[in-house]
Amino acid sequence: MDATEFRRRGREMVDYIADYIEGIEGRQVYPDVEPGYLRPLIPSCAPQEPDAYEDIMKDVEKVIMPGASSPACTELETVMLDWLGKMLQLPEAFLAEKAGSGGGVIQGSASEATLMALLAARSRATRHLQATRPGLTEAAIMEKLVAYGSDQAHCSVERAALIGGVKFKAIPSDGKFAMRASALQEVLERDKAAGLIPFFVVATLGTTSCCSFDRLSEVGPVCNREDLWLHVDAAYAGSAFICPEFRHLLNGVEFADSFNFNPHKWLLVNFDCSAMWVKKRVDLTGAFKLDPVYLQHSHQDSGLITDYRHWQLPLGRRFRSLKMWFVFRMYGVKGLQAHIRKHVQLAHEFESLVRQDPRFEVCAEVTLGLVCFRLKGSNKLNEDLLDRISSAKKIHLVPCHLRGRFVLRFAICARTVEPAHVQQAWAHIQTLASALLEAAQE
């Protein structure tokens, strides 16, 4: 949708909402629909090709309006998480469609998803331990619980442990910045021998610093064997798994208890929209369920509906699945795949430009849309280069440390990015680097 169409559609939408408000007295307060009404009204997976905007709006009238905000808001969310799960080829155990035990929910952020997973894992571990060792108090268990992530995991993992009141330990990653089973196992053995209780592991697919991938197929079996909750954080990289050529990066997700990524990062859905799936929804609902009378309703114990309030921290929720429905239909799966592929291609173009300049080095494998690079030389030199880049205000780069080395990160992000932007950015970096190196020689 270009800017002209966006303006037109925006005006139409304001009219649609104004008409709704004007005619609200004529509408029924309580919907006639029964739980489960929505799924049969829409296809069981996202379209491959784009749908026309007019058709989507017709479906809003036909599918959403009869269900008002509730149950339409809940039911569309469940179906959209199934659509997206199928795009990623998630194992069926994570989908709600088969009326199994799993399903998806939209959280606000990856940090929230990790926190929810950790709290649910804490509750599951405590229940299990108290069942086998009845004398053990909750406080005594809490003192010993340990959560793990790689030394490359996002700080939100350690923060979840902090909020959850449990210890966090970082597992040293390997030469490719990936967490391996052997390193995890070693720390687990040491901790168990010291009387601690390992209960939760976060594997990251697409780390923040350099987009490395923990070895899920190795780490997963260790977690299953040791009865540890495995949460997979693919906040950024998850979007790429809709492309068959990147799906192998998700192999091993079958071992996970929960999986999360942010469609708002790279799948063209506006902020906020963080998709989280669990294999066993009772792990979440069992941990956080409270039922005051003002929240009770006639269907609550029927098993027919999902009460998302038990899956998340807040009670109230927005209709975020509408964004997913519109985006998936307006682009089609092929359009979304093309978007991802273009960004990855541009990252490789940038990588090859860096490699052609002998003053620079590429610091980590380029798998998706992130290139980590630096001037050969000291950290100070690279910090100075970043200062010059930031002061020039033409492009924005966020740095990181990789094994003590100060590294610049070039991330392809914008929906509208073209090869010319990448070339301009590189020419700009080269010019600033030349000036810096000349100044350093004077």
Binding site for ligand PLP (CB under 6 A): 109-111, 154, 156, 204, 206-208, 233, 235-236, 262, 274
| C-alpha–C-alpha distance, residues 317 and 304, integer Å | 20
| Smallest separation, CB 274 to ligand PLP (Å) | 5
Residue with smaller CB distance to ligand PLP, 262 or 367: 262
Q: Please state the closest distance from residue 5 (CB atom) to ligand PLP, in A.
A: 30
Instruction: Let me know: does 158 contact 118? Beta carbons within 8 Å.
Output: no
CB-nearer residue toward ligand PLP: 229 or 426: 229
Distance CA 374, CA 393 (A): 19
Which C-beta is closer to ligand PLP: that of 236 or that of 426? 236
Q: Least Å distance between CB 234 and ligand PLP?
A: 7
CB of 25 to ligand PLP, least distance (A): 40
Q: Minimal CA–CA distance to 205: which of 270, 134, 256, 143?
A: 256
In the complex, least distance from residue 424 CB atom to ligand PLP, rounded to whole angstroms: 25
* CB contact burial 119-142 (16+ within 10 A = b; e otherwise): bbbbbbbbeebeeeeeeeeeeebb
- Structure token pair of residue 212: 């490395």
Buried b (16+ CB within 10 A) or exposed e, 71-103: bbbbbbbbbbbbbbbbbbebbebbbbbeeeebb
Q: Which is nearer to ligand PLP, 214 or 384 (CB)?
A: 214
Whichever of 152 and 382 has its CB closer to ligand PLP, that residue is 152
Q: How far is the CB of 385 from ligand PLP (least distance, A)?
A: 23
Cβ closest to ligand PLP, residue 110 vs residue 242: 110
Rounded Cα distance between 46 and 148, Å, is 35
Give how far Cα 280 sits from Cα of 62, 93, 103, 113, Å.
32, 8, 8, 15
